[in-house]
Chains A and B, each alone.
Chain A
Amino acid sequence: MDVNLIVNGERCRARVEPRKTLADLLREDLGLTGTHLGCEHGVCGSCTVLLDGLAVRSCLMFGVQADGSEVTSVEGLAGDPESLSLVQRAFQETHGLQCGFCTPGFVISVTAFLAEVPDPTDEQIRDGLSGNLCRCTGYQGIVQAVRLAARLRREERAETSG
């Protein structure tokens, strides 16, 4: 089936089998391998992308279902491939990763989370991270990354509005 969608701001077209997940469509048909597949049944969160602005598991959707939708994967967060988004920068600075496999999913989830909860408590941060699994870090660096990202985000907003 033909699928038309906007991925990271660009119009894309692919011909896919209905059984193919959105994650596989992104990785195999569009060459966007930043979206990782861990468990492939909705538990680990590695494949999280933004679908029309909302964080979803791209392994729990068929690619054909995204026809007409707008998808943002980790490659599209910063706007251009040479720079990092604010959340990505925060992960880098606090070393909120070790092997990096789960990181794209975390970065997407945190981006969506901070849009809704701009000034989170530590408890809210941990709740917001509960849908993504990391087997390396023990999460401390990731929690720090979210704290930093929230601060940077607030500062940036204060500057642009002031």
Chain B
Amino acid sequence: MKAAAFDYHAPESVDAAVALLAELGDEAKVLAGGQSLVPVMAMRLGRPEHIVDVNRIEALAGATRSNGTLRVGALTRHRDLETDVLIRDSVPLLARAAPHIGHFQIRNRGTVGGSLAHADSAAELPAVTVALDAEIEVRSSRGSRRIRAADFFVSIFMTALEPDELVTAVHLPVWGRGCGFAVAEFARRHGDFALAGAACGVQVDGGRIVRAAVGLIGMGGVPVRARPAEQALTGADAHGADLVSTGRDAVAALDPPSDAHGSAAYRRHLGAQMITQALGRALAEAQGQDRNPGQSQAGGTA
């Protein structure tokens, strides 16, 4: 359980890091929080020749907000998603997802960029970015580009990142008033990867659902966005929405993995339940904040 030998590089700027990646190409692996990469190296599932440790690049950490978008630096730790007020207020779904990521000792090290680049479809942050139509900002010595989350996750543990590219940030839309967000997942033990889960956001105006986002965890090789569920909900009466059939319909056409932990049918069953639960919580929160509850809501506070 010891990693194979490698050359260690600890650049202090993004420019220096991408120069190293350009020079080393496929031989190099970026080390961020290390909570997935180091076990992979310990078990010798990966033996990179070069490690480019980005932990000393201060410019990669922290969040800023402008023009309705929250930019979260790649080196922002999972713990910061829970504690940073700007992040929590701007994109509450990140804060709701964070407690589901590993244990607090893992969240103290794990990073946003690392989770996205690792691209485990059973992880929370990839599903959040897909649900919210986030864009992933990447840099190489050739320049910078943004990739839509839906295009970023290509297949199991595969992303659209080129070997010389570094994830530098993720850009997420800030939703307006009357919103609710929730993450529900089922894991056999707390902190384990979920067998199935859902990350949901809804926006309610005048008692009607005006926007819905549903991202699914562990329901395929890549994080899945449940567009049929979103379409079914949009325009619906917030009170009368049938969340049970929304959940059931959303997973009907999916083909989740079948393994020792659960069959595909069991995962579909769990997935439907998690969608129903997460949407229920998100809707309750959104209705509580709906400033214009309209006729459908019988008086007063929710």
Contacts and interface: CB of A to CB of B under 8 A. Distances in A.
Contact of A61 (B6, B38, B190): B38
A40 B4 CA distance: 14
A38 to B, nearest CB: 10
Nearest to A64: B8
Interface string A1-36: 100000000000000011111001000000000000
Interface residues of A, number: 31
B42 A130 contact: no
B177 to A, nearest CB: 31
B191 A131 contact: yes
A82 interface: no
Contacts of A41: 1, 38-39, 42-43
A55 B105 contact: yes
Contacts of B104: 55, 112-113, 128, 131
Contacts of A45: 103, 105
A20 B3 CA distance: 8
Interface in A130-150: 130-131
B51 interface: yes
A109 B31 CA distance: 24
A57 B106 contact: yes
B297 interface: no
Given A60-B35, A61-B34, A130 B6 contact: no
A62 B38 contact: yes
21 contacts: A17-B5, A18-B6, A19-B2, A19-B3, A39-B1, A40-B1, A40-B2, A41-B43, A42-B38, A48-B105, A55-B104, A55-B108, A57-B35, A60-B38, A60-B39, A61-B38, A62-B8, A64-B10, A65-B34, A131-B103, A131-B106
A61 B7 CA distance: 15
Best-buried of B8, B39, B105, B108 by chain A (most CB within 10 Å): B105
B15 to A, nearest CB: 21
B51 A127 contact: no
Interface in B63-83: 79
Contact of A57 (B3, B51, B55, B109): B109
A131 B8 contact: no
Given A20-B2, A131-B104, A131-B191, 9 more contacts: A41-B38, A45-B105, A48-B105, A60-B35, A62-B34, A62-B38, A65-B31, A112-B104, A130-B103
B53 interface: yes
A56 interface: yes
Contacts of A113: 104
Contacts of B102: 131
B106 A42 contact: yes
A109 B196 CA distance: 28
A59 interface: yes
